Amino acid sequence: MKLSNVDYQIMWNRLVAVVEEQATTLIRTAFSTSVREAGDLSAGVFDCRGRMIAQAVTGTPGHVNAMAESVPHFINEIGMDNICEGDVYLTNDPWKGTGHLHDFTMVSPAFHEGNHVGFFAATAHVVDIGGRGYGPDANEVYEEGLLVPIMKFIHAGDVNKDLVNIIRNNVREQDQVIGDLYSLAACNAAGDARLMDMMKEFNLAELETLSDFIIDNSRAATLSRIKDLPDGAYHNDMTVDGYESSVEMKVSLTISGDTLLADFAGTSGPSKFGVNVPMVYTRAYACYGLKCAIAPDIPNNTGSLKPFDVTAPEGCILNAPHPAPVSVRHVLGHFVPDVVLGALHKCIPGVSPAEGASALWNILLSARPLDPSSGLPPSEIMMFNSGGMGARATLDGLSATAFPSGVSTMSAEATEHVGPITIWQKDLLVGSGGSGEFRGGLGQTIVISANEGYELYFNAMFDRIKFPARGREGGKNGGAGSLVLDDGTVLNGKGRQHIPAGRKLILELPGGGGYGDPKKRSPELVRADLEAGYITLEQAVNDYGLTN
């Protein structure tokens, strides 16, 4: 059977279905809350040269591109002549995987009739990796937990029991962590089985012709989008809270013909704490932000990702080298799209939204019994929460919605069954959306306390408390975030802190920036916003100029 153009297209569709099935298998069987509830995972298929051909559409852009870059590292370190049928490799090296120790990337070579034809890779966030636990307080990556360099998890069908034993002895929640490693291997196997069906159906002996077809088409489409952009150099900078001092993020976007370079030269140096970002993660989010604006419809693969060239000087906070602490690299990583979209706005106005809350306000609460002899069990409770998105050129920003991350929140009722806490409030924060012709999305208020007999500790990893999201084209800034106790105690945006028994933690999540002059917003919309309690009377009068 000679394969036609239509056949190649069908196989492309099929590969996308194959990796979706791979991802579905992982979501169904994973223990990690962030994988299951939030889609904090990635799954993809690669050719023998380590080029990604297809990737599942999942919740976290941070894994996109990051995982795409990981397979060549595996090929280098394992060695082509050391790849056997039945092998599975893994690492959680932040610089060769997806940016922090909590993410394991698992790579399985695919064999067809005894010949090596490609790879499957999957990444997932595990529940624990030892060390200090998930939080920003470490000063070196060594404190953040166990680093497993690229090695074989399974050799020709035999599990590396020594490795499993080492991991088991270095993490909390051993069963769940080890269980997730097997889930990763199993999801690659599920993808592999489906790939073999496809190769049989289409009588393929190799994948390289198909990967050329996919990558060349995607690359050509992406290059033509870049070529349509006006040539020039576009700059932007943005300041955010950071940990011990504020962080300036700078980018120069240079577009020339069909090339595009985002260079973060001028960005602040590294932090002493775990908010540093490995280059691979910076590149992933820069690429995501640009791709949303320029080529949202082109599927992720090496062909569509490679044209986005991203660099940052080594040693800056967005290209932090080993052994910098990187545990909560997502905070600054989530700001990267705002930075590049701000530069892109100068190139093609009207596409980039205003800045938003952007960094997730994830809380990991540790509930501890006041009296250790009471027999009350300790408990860890994870919550994902989002502030407001920036307004768009023709639309209001989305309230309490994650961007650039794609995670979901959990039900408050379900969360209260996980551990001994009561969530007293979780609703929109009035007046937190930046005023504008198009209003920024609202942040939210969350109020939490420990139930009787318990006190709480938590790792703060919150930003936009000192530096709120800025508006665009005359739009006002979004509301800043805050965290306090109900007795008025002001808490820090970063680091481990205490909520005494009987006290309530009050989180106010930042809102998104407005877009365009608020005076241009129609008075009917302003009145409706005021009546609904989205904006305050003061904003209606002062920002929007409402007179009656």
Partner 1 sequence: MTQKSARIGVDIGGTFTDIALDLDGTLYTGKVLTNYSQPEQAILDGIELVCHRAGIKVTEVTTVIHGTTLVTNSLIERRGARTAFITSEGFRDVVEMRTENRFEQYDLNLTLPTPLVKRTDRYTLNERISASGEVLTDIDPTELNALVKTILAEGYEAVAVGFIHSYANDVNEVQVQKAFAEAAPELCVSISSHVSPQMREFQRFNTVIANAYVRPQVSDYLGRLVKRLTEMGITCPVFMMHSAGGLISVDTASEFPVRLLESGPAGGAIFAAKFAASYGEDQVLSFDMGGTTAKICLIEDGRPKTANTFEVARTYRFAKGSGMPLSTPVVEMVEIGAGGGSIAHVDDMKQIRVGPKSAASEPGPACYQRGGEDPTVTDANLLLGRLDPDLFAGGEIPLSVDMAGAAMSTKVASKANLDKEQAAFGVTEVVDENMANAARVHTVENGKEIGNFTMIAFGGGAPLHACRLCEKLDMDYLVIPPGAGVGSAIGFLNAPFSYEATKGMYQRLNNFDPIRINQLLADLREEASAFVKRGAGSIDTTTRVQAFMRYTGQGGEIAIDIDYKEYVAADVDVFRQEFEAGYYKLFGRTIDGLGIEITNWSITVASKVQASAPMTLRRSGQQVAVTKTREFFDAALRKVVTANEVHRNTLKPGDAVAGPAVIVEDETSTVVTTGYTVVAQDDKSMLLVNKKTMETL
Site residues for partner 1, 148-187, by CB under 8 A, read 174-176, 179, 182, 186
- State which residue, 119 or 438, has the beta carbon closest to partner 1: 438
436 vs 301, 343, 391, 441, 512, CA distance in Å?
A: 37, 20, 8, 11, 11
Residue pointed to by tokens 């080529």: 295
Q: How near is the Cβ of 346 to partner 1 at its closest, in Å?
A: 17
Per-residue mark of binding to partner 1, 472-511 (x: CB under 8 A): ----------------------------------------
- State which residue, 20 or 241, has the beta carbon closest to partner 1: 20
Please report whether residue 190 would count as binding partner 1 according to CB under 8 A: yes
Q: Which of 114-122, 145-153, 418-426, 468-476 is the region at the interface with partner 1 (rule: CB under 8 A)?
A: 418-426
Q: How near is the Cβ of 531 to partner 1 at its closest, in Å?
A: 6
Q: Which of 155-163, 286-294, 368-376, 516-524 is the region at the interface with partner 1 (rule: CB under 8 A)?
A: 286-294
Q: Which of 31-39, 79-87, 91-99, 276-284 is the region at the interface with partner 1 (rule: CB under 8 A)?
A: 31-39
What is 84-103 written as a DSSP string? -TT-EEEE--TTTTTSSTTE
Could you give the dihedral angle defined by the CA atoms of residues 116, 121, 127 and 132, in that order, rounded to the nearest 10 degrees?
90
Q: Applying CB under 8 A, what is the total number of residues that bind partner 1?
A: 85
Q: Which amino acid is at 191?
A: G
Q: In what order do the strands lie in the sheet with 444-450?
A: 421-428, 444-450, 504-508, 482-485
- State which residue, 274 or 431, has the beta carbon closest to partner 1: 431
Report long-range pairs for 220-225 (Cβ below 8 Å, ≥24 apart). 221/295, 221/298, 221/304, 222/294, 222/295, 222/298, 222/303, 222/304, 222/307, 222/308, 223/258, 223/307, 224/258, 225/294, 225/295, 225/298
Say how far apart CA 398 and CA 442 lie, in whole Å.
7
State which of residues 55, 236, 276, 444 lies at the interface with partner 1 (CB under 8 A).
444
Could you give the dihedral angle defined by the CA atoms of residues 132, 134, 138 and 140, in that order, rounded to the nearest 10 degrees?
100
Phi, psi for 362 (deg, rounded to 5): -80, 140
E-only strand ranges, 438-508: 444-450, 454-461, 482-485, 494-499, 504-508
State which of residues 84, 151, 196, 221 lies at the interface with partner 1 (CB under 8 A).
221
Q: How near is the Cβ of 94 to partner 1 at its closest, in Å?
A: 23
State which of residues 98, 211, 218, 477 lies at the interface with partner 1 (CB under 8 A).
218
Q: How near is the Cβ of 417 to partner 1 at its closest, in Å?
A: 5
- State which residue, 269 or 533, has the beta carbon closest to partner 1: 533
- State which residue, 411 or 492, has the beta carbon closest to partner 1: 411
State which of residues 296, 372, 375, 488 lies at the interface with partner 1 (CB under 8 A).
296
Say how far apart CA 442 and CA 431 lie, in whole Å.
7
Per-residue mark of binding to partner 1, 243-282 (x: CB under 8 A): ----------------------------------------
Tally of CA atoms within 13 A in the half-sphere of 472 that contains its CB = 32
Contact 397, 356 (CB under 8 A): yes
Q: How near is the Cβ of 548 to partner 1 at its closest, in Å?
A: 19
Per-residue mark of binding to partner 1, 326-365 (x: CB under 8 A): -------------------------xxx------------
Please report whether residue 286 would count as binding partner 1 according to CB under 8 A: no
Name the β-bridge partners of 483: 507
Say how far apart CA 344 and CA 176 lie, in whole Å.
42
Angle at 304 between CA 302 and CA 305, to 5 degrees: 65
- State which residue, 62 or 118, has the beta carbon closest to partner 1: 62
Contact 368, 378 (CB under 8 A): yes
Please report whether residue 37 would count as binding partner 1 according to CB under 8 A: yes
Site for partner 1 in 376-415 (CB under 8 A): 384-386, 392, 394-395, 398-403, 406-414
